[in-house]
């Protein structure tokens, strides 16, 4: 794998994905073997919007590889004054560090930033755009639980604004998964994603009702529907309930259905699902560390 | 009367570019897309909604003293795919250029996604990949299919 910057799941081929996931599996099997791998490396953390989990996951990954991080802190308290361009900020910080992780509220910010720096840059989420490391850890979890062969996956919730969904859908085309999208009509996939899936020749179906498709699924990927996406509260409440699952809902599913969620959840997955063998969302979150270790190791010149 | 005669009737230019066969009503958008707003001193004449055998109605734009580059001509294809471009020297047509769709247009259109980084005060131009039936922002993936002229960047 040779990418200087990781901006979008779209840039990852099937081979790239397998390389990262295989390497992550090696790391997960024996993390100690990688503990001094990058002891001279400093990773610059540029988080222009709060994301404690993603930041902690990258920080843990870098430290587990023996390296360290420098953190610009929260935007409010840092010297990154309102008014300095993102292009200037990344050019300054690249002088301090060996690689950059960027989270920014605007779409396309990571791509733009990558055009101004020579050190590798990882997109840790750009607005409603892309979040490729989330996609990689999602794929790792899917491969561990259901495999990539003959895979039928349902993706449910806010498909319009959910960047994790957009990245994942694209990546799933590289493994020829059958994809079912379940959402209220107002939150269906955006045009650009439909277009890409169509271009990739993906097998895609859209549903408004989970019951139609639940028994066929190997994986159910749930995302949150946010109240603020609806013009009024009552409309939200009418819709939201239909896209919540509990242990009873899953009685109709295959015994080995894997339930995933990018977290944090609110009430779209009831707590009684946690106790079932379906629940993999906490493991999914934990997988972020070996996957990000693998990605950083490969980007920073690991052996593969 | 042929198109050519009508063209002559508008005004003859000595050196410059004549853009003919622009779809009726699109001439001002053509000027916008070429960044021609009259402030640079170029002499520009515009004829709108002339009768045309081929298009029904067409617009014609003449830019005196300026030969459009092939890149500029290609950008025109986004809104005037049927246009013909004549380069004029000393009152003669010395070159006819074809409009071809470019693969990318830079700094020409504004991304309609207000949350796109290219709409911020950053040192980048907008960049759109040109597809068969629309253009797509290379930063945020937003697709514009209809109504391209509404997204032409104001200078
Ligand atoms: Zn854009």
pLDDT band at B5 (very low <50, low <70, confident <90, very high): low
Model-level pTM? 0.87
- pLDDT at position A184 is 92
Q: What is the mean pLDDT of each run of 10 residues along chain A (304 residues)?
A: 82 95 98 94 94 93 97 69 84 95 96 96 92 96 97 96 89 96 93 90 94 97 88 82 94 97 94 97 97 96 57
Q: What is the DSSP string of A4-73?
A: S-B--GGG--HHHHHHHHHHHHHHHH-GGGGTTTTTT-EEEEEESS--HHHHHHHHHHHHHTT-EEEE--
- pLDDT at position A96 is 95
- Say if residues B139 and B122 touch (Cβ distance below 8 Å): no
Q: Which residue of A has its CA nearest to B113?
A: A107
Is B113's Cβ below 8 Å from some Cβ in A? Answer: yes
Q: What are the CA-CA distances from residue A264 to residues A53, A206, A225, A267 (Å)?
A: 9, 25, 12, 10
- Residue B101 Cα to ligand 1 middle (Å): 20
Domain ranges of chain A: 5-130+288-300, 133-285
- pLDDT at position A226 is 83
Catalytic residue among A2, A52, A81, A82: A82
CATH no. for B104-151? 2.30.30.20
- pLDDT at position B1 is 46
Residue of B113, B121, B122 best to disrupt the A interface, most CBs of A under 10 A: B122
Domain A5-130+288-300 has CATH 3.20.20.70: no
Distance to chain B for A176, nearest Cα, Å: 22
Residues of A in contact with B113 (CB under 8 A): 107
- pLDDT at position A72 is 83
CA angle B33, B140, A162 (to 5 degrees): 145
- pLDDT at position A303 is 47
Domain ranges of chain B: 16-98, 104-151
- pLDDT at position B152 is 86
Distance to chain B for A130, nearest Cα, Å: 9
- pLDDT at position A304 is 40
B16-98 has which fold?
A: Alpha-Beta Plaits (3.30.70)
- pLDDT at position A34 is 95
Whose tokens are 């300054």? That residue is A92
- pLDDT at position A164 is 87
- pLDDT at position B11 is 67
Look at domain A133-285 and name its CATH class.
alpha beta
Q: For B30-49, what is each residue's pLDDT tens digit?
A: 998 888 877 877 789 999 99
pLDDT of B155 strictly over 60? no
Per cent of chain B over pLDDT 90 is: 52
Is A53 among the residues known to form the active site?
A: yes
- Say if residues A125 and A163 touch (Cβ distance below 8 Å): yes
Distance to chain A for B112, nearest Cα, Å: 12
The DSSP bridge partners found for residue A126 are A104
Question: Among B113, B122, B143, whose Cβ lies nearest the Cβ of A85?
Answer: B122
Q: Which residue of A has its CA nearest to B145?
A: A191
Please determine, for the modelled complex, whether the ipTM score is greater than 0.85: yes
pLDDT band at B147 (very low <50, low <70, confident <90, very high): confident
Question: Among A85, A108, A191, whose Cβ lies nearest the Cβ of B139?
Answer: A108
Is B133's Cβ below 8 Å from some Cβ in A? Answer: no
């Amino acid at each position: 794998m040779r990418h200087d910057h990781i901006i979008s799941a779209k840039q990852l081929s099937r081979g790239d994905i397998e390389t990262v996931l295989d390497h992550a599996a090696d790391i997960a099997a024996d993390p100690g073997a990688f503990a001094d791998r990058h002891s001279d490396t400093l990773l610059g953390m540029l988080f222009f919007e709060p994301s404690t989990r993603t930041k902690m996951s990258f920080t843990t990954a870098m430290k587990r590889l023996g390296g360290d991080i420098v953190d610009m802190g929260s935007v409010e308290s840092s010297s990154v004054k309102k008014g300095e361009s993102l292009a200037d900020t990344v050019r300054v910080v690249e002088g301090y560090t060996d690689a950059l992780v960027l989270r920014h509220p605007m779409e396309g910010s990571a791509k733009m930033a990558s055009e101004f720096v020579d050190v590798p840059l990882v997109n840790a989420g750009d607005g409603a755009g892309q979040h490729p490391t989330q996609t990689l850890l999602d794929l790792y979890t899917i491969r561990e639980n259901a495999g990539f062969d003959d895979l039928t996956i349902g993706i449910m919730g806010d498909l319009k604004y959910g960047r994790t969904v957009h990245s994942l859908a694209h990546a799933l085309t590289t493994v020829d998964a059958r994809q079912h999208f379940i959402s209220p009509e107002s939150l269906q996939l955006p045009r650009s994603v439909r277009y890409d899936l169509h271009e990739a020749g993906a097998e895609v179906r859209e549903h408004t009702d989970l019951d139609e498709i639940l028994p066929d699924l190997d994986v159910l990927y749930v995302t949150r529907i946010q109240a603020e996406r609806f013009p009024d509260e009552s409309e939200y409440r009418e819709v939201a309930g239909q896209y919540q699952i509990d242990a009873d809902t899953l009685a109709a599913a295959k015994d080995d259905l894997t339930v995933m969620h990018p977290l944090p959840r609110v009430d779209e997955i009831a707590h009684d699902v946690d106790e079932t063998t379906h629940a993999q969302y906490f493991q999914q979150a934990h997988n972020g560390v070996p996957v990000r270790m693998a990605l950083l190791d490969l980007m920073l010149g690991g052996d593969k | 009367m042929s198109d050519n005669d009508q063209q002559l009737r508008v005004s003859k230019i000595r050196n410059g570019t004549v853009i003919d066969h622009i779809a009726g009503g699109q001439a001002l958008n053509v000027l916008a897309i070429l960044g021609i707003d009259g402030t640079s001193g170029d002499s520009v004449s515009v004829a709108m909604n002339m009768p045309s055998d081929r298009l029904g109605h067409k617009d014609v734009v003449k830019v005196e003293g300026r030969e459009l580059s092939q890149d500029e001509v290609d950008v025109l294809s986004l809104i005037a795919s049927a246009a013909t471009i004549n380069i004029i020297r000393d009152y003669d047509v010395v070159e006819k250029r074809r409009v071809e769709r470019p693969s990318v247009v830079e700094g020409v259109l504004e991304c309609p996604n207000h949350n796109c980084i290219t709409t911020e005060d950053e040192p980048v131009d907008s960049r759109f990949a040109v597809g068969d039936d629309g253009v797509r922002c290379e930063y945020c993936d937003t697709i514009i299919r209809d109504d391209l002229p509404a997204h032409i960047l104001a200078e």
